[in-house]
Amino acid sequence: MFGRSRARRACYSEGVPPARIWIRSPGELDTLGRDLRGVKAVGVDTEADSLHHYPERLCLVQLADPEGRVYLLDPLTLPDLEPLRPLLAEPATVKVFHSADNDLGHLKRHSGFAFASIADTMLAARFLGVRELGLDRLLAQYLGVQTVKSQQKTDWARRPLTPAQEDYAAEDVRHLIALRDQLTAELRAFGREAWLIEECDALAALEPPARPADEEGYRRLRGASQLDRRGLSVLRALHAQREAWARAERRPPFKVLSPETLVALAASPPGDWAALAGLRGLTPRLIARYGDGILEAIARGLAEPIPDPPRVPRHTRPVIPPAVRQRAEALRRWRATAAHRTGLDPGVLLPQRLIDVLATTPPQDATSLGEVPGLRRWRAETFGPEILAALTFRATPQHL
């Protein structure tokens, strides 16, 4: 929706790709930490591997400096990433991500890092009303850069990485600073740069969600609802055993034994090796590897207390007072109009969770509006009077 300068884009479509420097030893990482001290910005990306390994591992950290050099850090060989801590916490150095949620989560869980001064190019694009938010589309649109073939489903724990993997990892990070500069310039022109800074500060402070063991996950397997209580007891034991194997072998559970195989075993529990051989999905190799453990888990399931069925809470439809419903509808009408006027996605302008809060407990003035959790200062300052006006809407009969 906004214009582009061809001259501005051309400088990124020509020239030689910058050097890639592998960081595999503590000494190399110490040197990198010192070399990056004081830079104005650094591009950051990570690669983890949930498709091939379990639990998920941080396999690669990519950094790019303002001169276009790319550093590939190997967490699988480095004892820790501590030399990055001052850099990531330095307010004077902007850490540039694209879709920062996962990268921040990986780095916080892996090393307990704290972050200051981050910029998320996907958030920046959303504040410009851009609809196609993938990094490849933004690089093509803003910098004229054509990215390499995706390697998202690759095994990032494999060493050495293939040339295609290295290309993808480097391209994912080396243009981030330039992209951020272009997006920030347009945000500044539209008076929205402060919006991005506020949202990114909130994102940097967010704690990554905990990942507790899913002990009730067996109930959600397809076909589990068709089992009787004894079958569920066997399925529970098999599911726990598969989880133990997956963690020991660092493989995703579905690559150990498929969900369909677990449910089939629970539906008709075999009592010996011969019976195992007749089950679909259990190859001779799997039986040789897991047969004894499968039979032991089945025996435990048959002997353990039968699990009580989960208490399903009664989801009675809440009774929404007419006044709350009218305020919510008025906010949605205002949001639709404002989204069209500003070019912003309605969910960026005012997400449904905030509509629910505002309609239920409407603030009476600008001060109380600014105190609504999660509303953000940019919404209160830019759209506050309009939001308050929508909340004081008086319904006419056709709106009831």
Tell whether 31 and 179 lie within a shared domain. Answer: yes
pLDDT in tens, 191-218: 999 999 999 999 999 988 766 667 788 9
Residue at a domain's end among 303, 333, 364: 303
Same domain, 157 and 131: yes
Residue 308 lies in a domain: no
pLDDT tens for 126-153 read 999 999 999 999 999 999 999 877 766 7
103 and 166 in a single domain? The answer is yes
3-class DSSP state of 46: strand
- What percentage of the chain reaches a pLDDT higher than 70? 88
Nearest to 253 by CA among 264, 273, 265, 238: 238
Q: Which residues contact 133 (CB under 8 A, 6 or more apart)?
A: 99, 122, 125, 126
CA dist., res. 51 & res. 45, Å (int): 18
| Residue type for position 158 | R
C-alpha span between 256 and 262 (Å, rounded) = 10
200 lies in some domain:
yes
Co-location of 83 and 24 in the same domain: yes
* Number of domains the chain contains: 3
Q: What is the pLDDT of residue 163?
A: 92
Same domain, 235 and 192: no
Q: Which domain holds residue 280?
A: 217-303
The encoded tokens of residue 181 equal 């500069």
Count of Cβ atoms closer than 10 Å to residue 391 Cβ: 19
Q: How far apart are CA 186 and CA 81, in angstroms?
A: 35
Residue 273 domain-assigned (yes or no):
yes
Q: Does 190 lie in the same domain as 63?
A: yes
Q: Choose between 304 and 152: higher pLDDT.
A: 304
Radius of gyration (Cα) for the chain, nearest Å?
Answer: 27
- In terms of pLDDT, which residue wins out, 46 or 147? 46
Domain shared by 241 and 157, yes or no: no
Do the beta carbons of residue 186 and residue 230 sit within 8 Å? no
The answer to whether the beta carbons of residues 298 and 237 sit under 8 Å apart is: yes
Q: Are residues 146 and 221 in the same domain?
A: no
Residue 201 domain-assigned? yes
Residues 285 and 331 in one domain: no
Is 90 contained in some domain? yes
Residue range 256-282, pLDDT digits in tens: 899 999 999 999 999 999 899 878 789
* Statement: the pTM of the whole predicted model exceeds 0.85: no
Q: Is 212 among the domain residues?
A: no
Query: Which two three-digit tokens encode residue 115?
Result: 């972050």
Domain's final residue, options 174, 205, 236? 205
